[in-house]
Amino acid sequence: MKIKNPILTGFHPDPSLIRVDDTYYIASSTFEWWPGVRIHESKDLAHWKLITYPLKEKRLLDMWGNPDSGGVWAPDLSYHDGKFYLVYTDVKVTDGAYKDCINYLITAENIMGPWSDPVILNTAGFDASLFHDDDGRKYLLNQYWDPRSFHHPFYGIMCTEYSEEEKKLVGEPWVIYKGTPDRFTEGPHIYKINGYYYLFVAQGGTVYAHQERVARAESLRGTFMTQPGEPMLTTLDAPFHPIQKAGHGSLVQTKTGEWYFAHLMGRPIHHHTESVAEQRGWCPLGRETGIQKVIWDDDGWPHIVGGHKGMVEVEAPVDAAGCEGEARSGKDDFNEKGLGLSFQTLRVPLEEDTMSLQSRPGHLRLYGRQSLASTFLQAHVARRWQSFTFDAETKMSYRPKNIQQSAGLSCYYNTKNWSCIQVTWNEKYGRVIDVTATDLGKTFSVYQENPIPVPDDAEYIYLKVQVRGISYQYYYSFDGELWQETAYRFDSAKLSDEYIKAVYDAAFTGAFTGMFSVDGLGTALPADFDYFSYQELDMEVDGKYI
């Protein structure tokens, strides 16, 4: 059996991979999207299912007002003596000299919870992980942030002992590894193998220069020596390779003794006018999760099978029996059982006065709240782009009476980069359809003074987006059969980390599509969504099968 990369498509960065008996789990970052931390499950490392979000209570996570690309960075999942441990970072500041990274620890006896109240560990840096030594002691590792002027902000990897009895860090921290001249040393994970402490770290920044380095020492307080030669994993020198940005991951051993490394990766797409080698392209799907097989040389150093670039197809474990994977395409008819796991909201959970599945049976009701530019309370429910070619569609009942009221279908990266097709109100026509976008903080309307009138007798308006690689376009219908295209084709690149990073430091997520409702009057005018459909397509776009 072959494993096809990526194993987690769409925005799933910073994988933390473990095995418990016959089951593998991956925890991945969610940043400002609620609930926090996605956990996938597999029996064979090839087929994965999303099973839970551990951070689904405000006692565990409150991101009210968090900046774009703040929130939950690089969770670390571990298992020791019958207990799951989850370390996660809530980043409150992203730009400038300071980060204000609050590192927490929670535990549970079952991966589905309940989870303990959080222990605050430190705020010294992000990408924290917990190492369980074989003598029973535990140590917290984290990227060590340096806020001083004229210093590189990535100071190294900090290590501090953790007392489970006292529920706090104890003793003085120390720097166990400074990294190589590639800098940006982060994402630490330690494994004790054959008498050595192996430290796996990401370097180069989570961009096209990304890489994974390995160092080892005979004790935690010893000198960690970097593996000789090239990085264990990187695609810096391979601009035409299908896998890019490879780095930041974690190691696991199968029951039969094979080794695998789950890692962050990206799949760029390009405009016809661009050089693939120079610009490297755009990743609207965000940073995804891939996996590689690992072998060890005679000197005890790990290597990626197939070379440091990694492979798209990887040999599955010899004991892989196969299992059912996640069905990404589907239609949600919004019954009272709750939203599907693929949906998330921004920063905080939506309470009953903002989101309801009971107010109008068979519908998702969103009561109008703040705009798509808000870092506080948006009535906005969305899911990841997980393919370069898909259709997303919804059917909405909505009757606005003011220019402050709007609702519709979004394609969203962050508060400063998004687009939507919306139903709103106009002085000349009354209820209308418009297409609006914000590009690096500047908002524009496609139809300006001549929006599309909605017939008075139209109870429902059908809205759709067709994503086709490097571009996407919105459509509307009043009967669900005859569709009209809107007058603007959007650039998918503008919903990517690469595009936003040209202006803003923090850009670490990916494109989402979903439903929203805005009401600036404070009347919480509801929009009722009858269904949401997401259908991935197998097709060629711009001559490339994706």
Q: Is 14 a catalytic residue?
A: yes
Q: What span, in angstroms and rounded, lies between the C-alpha atoms of 423 and 420?
A: 10
Is residue 533 packed enough to be buried (19+ CB in 10 Å), middle (13-18) or exposed (0-12)?
middle
Please list the pLDDT of the chain residue by residue as tens digits (546 residues).
Answer: 899 999 999 999 999 999 999 999 999 999 999 999 999 999 999 999 999 999 999 999 999 999 999 999 999 999 999 999 999 999 999 988 898 999 999 999 999 999 999 999 999 999 999 999 999 999 999 999 999 999 999 999 999 999 999 999 999 999 999 999 999 999 999 999 999 999 999 999 999 999 999 999 999 999 999 999 999 999 999 999 999 999 999 999 999 999 999 999 999 999 999 988 888 999 999 999 999 999 999 999 999 999 999 999 999 999 887 777 888 999 999 987 889 999 999 999 999 999 999 999 999 999 999 999 999 999 999 999 999 999 999 999 999 999 999 999 999 999 999 999 999 999 999 999 999 999 999 999 999 889 999 999 999 999 999 999 999 999 999 999 999 999 999 999 999 999 999 898 899 999 999 999 999 999 999 999 999 999 999 876 654 544
Domains and CATH numbers, the chain: 2-315 (2.115.10.20), 330-545 (2.60.120.200)
SS3 call for 494 = helix
User: 69 with 413: CB under 8 angstroms?
Assistant: no
pLDDT tens digit sequence for 227-252? 999 999 999 999 999 999 999 999 99
Q: Choose, from 90, 164, 186, 332, the residue flagged as catalytic.
A: 186
User: 461 with 476: CB under 8 angstroms?
Assistant: yes
Share of the chain above pLDDT 70, in %: 99
Q: What span, in angstroms and rounded, lies between the C-alpha atoms of 414 and 430?
A: 30
pLDDT tens digit sequence for 108-141? 999 999 999 999 999 999 999 999 999 999 999 9
What is the DSSP secondary-structure string of 120-163? EEE-S-SS-EEEE-TTS-EEEEEEEE--STTS-SEEEEEEEEEE
Average pLDDT for the chain: 96
Query: pTM of the entire structure?
Result: 0.96
CA 320 vs CA 34, 45, 309: distances in Å: 33, 8, 24
Q: Choose, from 14, 497, 498, 536, the residue flagged as catalytic.
A: 14
Q: Is the peptide bond before 35 cis (omega within 30 degrees of 0)?
A: yes
Which two three-digit tokens encode residue 204? 């180069």
The dihedral of CA 203, 204, 207, 213: what is its sign? Answer: negative
CA atoms within 13 A on the CB side of 186: 23
Q: Which long-range contacts link 484-492 to residues 24+ away (Cβ below 8 Å)?
A: 484/452, 486/421, 486/435, 486/446, 487/435, 487/446, 487/447, 488/435, 488/446, 490/411, 490/419, 490/437, 492/269, 492/282, 492/284, 492/388, 492/467
Q: What span, in angstroms and rounded, lies between the C-alpha atoms of 231 and 26?
A: 23
Q: What span, in angstroms and rounded, lies between the C-alpha atoms of 333 and 361?
A: 10
What type of residue is 4?
Answer: K
Q: Are strands 2-4 and 313-315 parallel, antiparallel or unpaired?
A: antiparallel
Q: What span, in angstroms and rounded, lies between the C-alpha atoms of 222 and 297?
A: 22
SS3 call for 499 = helix
pLDDT tens digit sequence for 56-89? 999 999 999 999 999 999 999 999 999 999 999 9
Q: Is 62 a catalytic residue?
A: no
User: 83 with 108: CB under 8 angstroms?
Assistant: yes
Which two three-digit tokens encode residue 211? 């890489």
